[in-house]
Amino acid sequence: MIDVENNIAMLNERIFLATIRAGRSPAEITLVAVTKTVPAEKIAEASEAGLREFGENRVQEAEPKILWSRERGLGLNWHMVGHLQRNKVKKAIQLFDVIQSVDSLPLAHEMSQRCAQAAAVRLPILLEVNVSGEASKYGFAVHEADGRVLDGFLTAVQEIEALPHLELQGLMTVAPLGPPEEELRSCFRRLRLLLNILREQLPNRHWQHLSMGMTDDFEVAIEEGATILRIGRAIFGERGK
Ligand SMILES: *Cc1c(COP(=O)(O)O)cnc(C)c1O
């Protein structure tokens, strides 16, 4: 039996200790509970335990859960954290409060247009960055050694920044699975340095968020400056069981 309430209490304790170790304030950290494969009753338990931010990685799986949570008046905020196909954008902007996984310029344009058609206010977004350079990962490419790639990213950011219906709030990354701690740390650090570059280049925008850190790596992410953690298994147990 998975005890969601107890898992959240233990997780909050670990988050608290990691922020204190890092000389940060726990108030700087937003916990997003990632509910892919998790049934609605477990989401209700997490909501009763006080969580308000939830994440899903696929529009199709998210839709019934989000509609269910709205019907029940739970007042949850939903974050899209997985790759978004352009033909799912229309649906995604109706469902999600934040899109963390904007990973290309055409996707951003499509989103802004769809928001305009829906007469929506500015939709909060994060840009997903592939800091590890793994070919299997989604996200903007930003290899340090190659200045031109970084230039390309900065140009894309300027264009997205100017889109009228998107509210660019920061960066998101998915770290590699199970690398040595130093490699993990350098991935998170690269995302933070990138955010600092954006702060210098585009000082008018409020660059507040670094979404990084999952069940296996969130303590290192906190030490490296994460403001949003996306956590599934530490709350809901192993998936597929
Ligand atoms: C599944 C998922 C998470 C949560 O992963 P856990 O290891 O279960 O904490 C976070 N971010 C993304 C993008 C995911 O797909």
Q: Encode the chain (241 residues) as per-residue pLDDT tens digits.
A: 789 999 999 999 999 999 999 999 999 999 999 999 999 999 999 999 999 999 999 999 999 999 999 999 999 999 999 999 999 999 999 999 999 999 999 999 999 999 998 877 789 999 999 998 888 899 999 876 666 778 889 999 999 999 999 999 999 999 999 889 999 999 999 999 999 999 999 998 889 999 999 999 999 999 999 999 999 999 999 997 5
Please check whether residue 102 lies inside any domain of the structure: yes
Residue 141's domain is classified under what CATH number?
A: 3.20.20.10
32 Cβ closer than 6 Å to some ligand 1 atom: no
Tokens of 133: 């350079």
C-alpha of residue 232 to centroid of ligand 1, in Å: 6
Please check whether residue 241 lies inside any domain of the structure: no
Please check whether residue 113 lies inside any domain of the structure: yes
Burial of 197 (0-12, 13-18, 19+ CB in 10 A): middle
Residue 138: Cβ within 10 Å count? 15
Domain that holds residue 143: 4-236
Please check whether residue 164 lies inside any domain of the structure: yes
58 Cβ closer than 6 Å to some ligand 1 atom: no
Residue in 187, 131, 127 with CA at minimum distance from that of residue 156: 127
Please check whether residue 40 lies inside any domain of the structure: yes
Please check whether residue 185 lies inside any domain of the structure: yes
C-alpha of residue 200 to centroid of ligand 1, in Å: 30
Please check whether residue 118 lies inside any domain of the structure: yes
Please check whether residue 51 lies inside any domain of the structure: yes
Residue in 69, 129, 140 with CA at minimum distance from that of residue 104: 140
- The total domain count for the chain is 1
81 Cβ closer than 6 Å to some ligand 1 atom: yes
Tokens of 41: 């009753």
79 Cβ closer than 6 Å to some ligand 1 atom: no
